[in-house]
């Protein structure tokens, strides 16, 4: 709720959204579902939105049926919506609904339009919205336009490709003869347009205009016209492609959008500084190199396993870390250094464990300490003496 002028602040008011005709699977029993029961006595102070989801259908609306039972939080926000180019009025009134389920790839934005109500002396008016209520005390509405996505976030490898899912549906009577699409990227306080498309809904190819500001970005115009699919593909991903993508669809006076997080990941290349570790009479340094990874948060730990034991132990001193080095492609390199003491037993297995978001499981790289070589000083000296005597 918010005032339209005078700098009034927005306020939050509890409301209920009732979705009727939600598709139920063939194995689903209606007995397991709790139907909505309106108040026995209509209350004009309650905000109850009621609408059917069958036309246009809300994709994957069935996910909402058991979300609460599965302890998945349903996020629902409803706000008054004023179509562009039209003055705000109460006949009909419009509302924007944002629906998502935490932990599930379900997100949609709906534009609701109020339905006419036959008024008589018993008709109640909602006290805050000043709109007539049905006999059961609900605000009767219909979905006229929606934009949806079946992913909230996606991870993709550096230099790989990705498809950012977005689609739209509208009521059977078209809201406008053409559709406009815009994809934007927001990252660290900065925004830029990635792709823009305008096309006629009557399949007139020459009327399609596409402007891509990012090389390798594309939308299939044929799928847009046939299915309302406005998903965008990106090829040859770079670190700078990471961020929040906003898919905005415009139909005449109406527009709605979806937000998708794209994370770029690149697993590290891990190596040890030595291919062979021979114990010496003095301490020596062994390094674990973690190279060309993204994002930044890589962790390295050292373990050792003496030949007489079965469980590895954490190094009491994890040594030192080099400073992060960032490469031209945005990836990072980091090294960890540990000291190998002469007191280590030959046959001890030394392991560097690396964890990183791009790795499903930690990565291990190991080396086995070998015994020190016998001192060959007297053998070399003896060889030199014999040689001198021979030529004397």
So what's the architecture of 151-265 in CATH?
Sandwich (2.60)
Interatomic CA distance for residues 222 and 230, integer angstroms: 10
Over the stretch 363-384, which tens digit does the pLDDT of each residue have? 999 999 999 876 544 434 444 4
Confidence label for 9 from pLDDT (cuts 50, 70 and 90): low
Interatomic CA distance for residues 43 and 282, integer angstroms: 85
What sign has the CA pseudo-torsion 350, 333, 163, 54? Answer: positive
Instruction: Look at residue 253 in the predicted model and tell me its pLDDT.
Output: 93
Over the stretch 117-159, which tens digit does the pLDDT of each residue have? 888 888 899 999 999 999 999 999 999 999 999 999 999 999 9
State yes or no: pLDDT of 336 exceeds 90.
yes
Instruction: Look at residue 203 in the predicted model and tell me its pLDDT.
Output: 62
Interatomic CA distance for residues 106 and 108, integer angstroms: 7
Phi, psi of 25 (to 5 degrees): -65, 160
Pick the closest to residue 51 from 76, 26, 18 (CA basis).
18
| Whole-prediction pTM | 0.84
CA distances from 234 to 160, 186, 262, 357 (A): 9, 16, 11, 21
Instruction: Look at residue 391 in the predicted model and tell me its pLDDT.
Output: 41
Here the tokens at position 159 are 């230099």
Pick the closest to residue 146 from 104, 113, 182 (CA basis).
113
Note whether 151-265 and 269-370 share their fold: yes
What average pLDDT does this structure show over 224-242?
95
52-55 long-range contacts (CB < 8 A, ≥24 apart) are: 52/19, 52/20, 52/21, 52/142, 52/143, 53/19, 53/20, 53/21, 53/22, 53/143, 54/21, 55/143, 55/171, 55/172
- Average pLDDT of the chain to the nearest whole number: 88
Sheet with 349-355, edge to edge strand ranges? 277-278, 363-370, 349-355, 299-305, 313-314
- Which residues make beta-bridge pairs with 262? 154, 243
Domain layout of the chain by residue ranges: 11-144, 151-265, 269-370
What average pLDDT does this structure show over 202-220?
83
Q: What is residue 42's three-state secondary structure?
A: coil
Looking up tokens 């046939």 gives: 226
Interatomic CA distance for residues 320 and 271, integer angstroms: 16
Instruction: Look at residue 84 in the predicted model and tell me its pLDDT.
Output: 87
Q: Are 371 and 326 in contact (CB under 8 A)?
A: no
DSSP code for 267: P
For domain 269-370, the CATH class is: mainly beta
Interatomic CA distance for residues 218 and 146, integer angstroms: 22
Over the stretch 268-315, which tens digit does the pLDDT of each residue have? 999 999 999 999 989 999 999 999 999 999 999 999 999 999 899 999
């Amino acid at each position: 709720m918010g005032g339209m002028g005078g700098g009034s602040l927005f306020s939050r008011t509890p409301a209920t959204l009732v979705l009727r005709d939600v598709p139920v699977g063939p194995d689903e029993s209606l007995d397991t579902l709790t139907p909505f029961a309106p108040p026995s006595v209509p209350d004009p102070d309650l905000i109850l939105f009621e609408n059917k989801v069958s036309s246009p259908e809300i994709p994957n609306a069935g996910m909402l049926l058991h979300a609460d039972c599965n302890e998945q939080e349903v996020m629902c926000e409803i706000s008054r919506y004023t179509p562009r180019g039209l003055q705000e009025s109460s006949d009909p009134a419009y509302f924007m609904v944002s629906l998502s389920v935490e932990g599930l790839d379900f997100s949609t934005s709906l534009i609701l339009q109020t339905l006419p109500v036959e008024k008589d002396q018993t008709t109640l008016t909602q006290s805050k919205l000043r709109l007539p209520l049905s006999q059961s005390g609900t605000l009767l509405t219909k979905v006229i336009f929606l934009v949806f996505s079946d992913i909230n976030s996606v991870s993709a490898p550096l230099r790989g490709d990705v498809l950012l899912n977005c689609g739209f549906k509208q009521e059977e009577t078209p809201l406008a003869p053409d559709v406009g699409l815009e994809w934007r990227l927001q990252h660290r306080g900065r925004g830029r347009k990635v792709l823009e498309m305008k096309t006629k809904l009557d399949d007139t190819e020459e009327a399609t205009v596409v402007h891509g500001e990012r090389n390798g970005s594309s939308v299939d115009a044929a799928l847009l016209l046939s299915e309302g699919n406005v998903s965008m593909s990106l090829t040859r991903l770079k670190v700078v492609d990471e961020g929040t993508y906003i898919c905005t669809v415009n139909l005449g006076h109406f527009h709605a959008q979806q937000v998708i997080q794209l994370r770029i990941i690149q697993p590290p290349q891990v190596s040890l500084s030595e291919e062979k570790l021979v114990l010496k009479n003095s301490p020596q340094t062994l390094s674990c190199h973690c190279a060309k990874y993204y994002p930044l948060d890589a962790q390295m730990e050292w373990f050792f396993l003496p030949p007489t034991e079965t469980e590895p132990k954490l190094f009491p001193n994890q040594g030192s870390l080099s400073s992060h080095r960032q490469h031209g492609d945005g990836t990072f390199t980091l090294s960890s250094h540990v000291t190998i003491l002469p007191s280590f037993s030959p046959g001890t297995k030394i392991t560097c464990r690396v964890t990183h978001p791009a790795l499903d499981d930690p990565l291990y790289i190991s080396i086995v300490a070998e015994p020190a070589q016998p001192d060959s000083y007297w053998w070399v000296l003896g060889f030199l003496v014999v040689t001198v005597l021979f030529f004397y």
